[in-house]
Amino acid sequence: MRKQCRLRCASVVLLMAALLLGGCSFLPELKPSPFPAERVPYLIGPGDTLDIFVWGNEEVSGPVKVRPDGLISTPLVEDLVASGKTPTQLARDMERQLAKYIKNPVVTITVTDFVGRPSEQIRVVGETVTPKAIPYRERLTLLDVMISVGGLTEYAAGNSATIVRVVNGKRRQYRVRLDDLLKDGDISANVDMLPGDILIIPESMF
């Protein structure tokens, strides 16, 4: 009697696992776009390192790190908002501030160490070797992300992985085929990543 009960319970567990994994098949599959990925401008975020160069004024030039509150301070310019701006936008803002002290300042800003705003990062969670957040860069693909996190663990259900993405202000979930991409080399499973994507890799139940 107990043996039959254990077998019945085990069958229920296996059925539930199959349903959970099978549920991913009802999600739309994210497929490669036939068009080049739209260029997304990089937005400065806390932790980024900026190289600020003011033409003809080396004394107010140099590297600066964006503080956790998103502000920067440089000689002659204090507590200027940097987070959420492109390097070009920030350079123009600095020129307006420096114009109080320097005649016709020309500023160039380069990001030398990328961290990015949390809303712009790619987050990878679940059965990957090193789950982490990755700064977004232009034309970043699913394969690039998986190389960055070291691939899948031996327990990963790669073809049940999903990407959570904000589309027109709403969160949507799409299925991706990591096993096909990484184990079979199926390049049709490689897709473009967008800022703010969350890649979720579940554990295989079998």
| pLDDT tens series, the chain, 206 aa | 544 444 444 343 334 344 444 445 578 888 776 666 667 778 899 999 999 999 999 999 999 999 999 999 999 999 999 999 999 999 999 999 999 999 999 999 999 988 888 888 999 999 999 999 998 887 899 999 999 999 999 999 999 999 999 888 899 999 999 999 999 999 999 999 998 999 999 998 76
User: What is the C-alpha separation between 44 and 115, in angstroms, rounded?
Assistant: 8
CATH class for the domain made up of 121-206: alpha beta
| Pick from 39, 14, 24: nearest CA to 137 | 39
Asked whether 50 and 85 are in contact (CB, 8 A), the reply is: no
Residue 206's pLDDT is what?
64
What are the boundaries of each domain within the chain?
A: 49-113, 121-206
Residue 137's pLDDT is what?
83
Beta bridge partner(s), residue 174 = 163
Question: What architecture is the 49-113 domain classified under in CATH?
Answer: 2-Layer Sandwich (3.30)
Query: Given the DSSP bridges, would you call strands 77-81 and 71-74 parallel, antiparallel or unpaired?
Result: antiparallel
Taking only Cα atoms into account, the Rg of the chain, rounded to an integer number of angstroms, comes to 23
Query: Given the DSSP bridges, would you call strands 122-126 and 198-201 parallel, antiparallel or unpaired?
Result: parallel
User: What is the C-alpha separation between 115 and 65, in angstroms, rounded?
Assistant: 11
pTM over the 0.75 mark? no
Residue 7's pLDDT is what?
42
Residue 127's pLDDT is what?
95
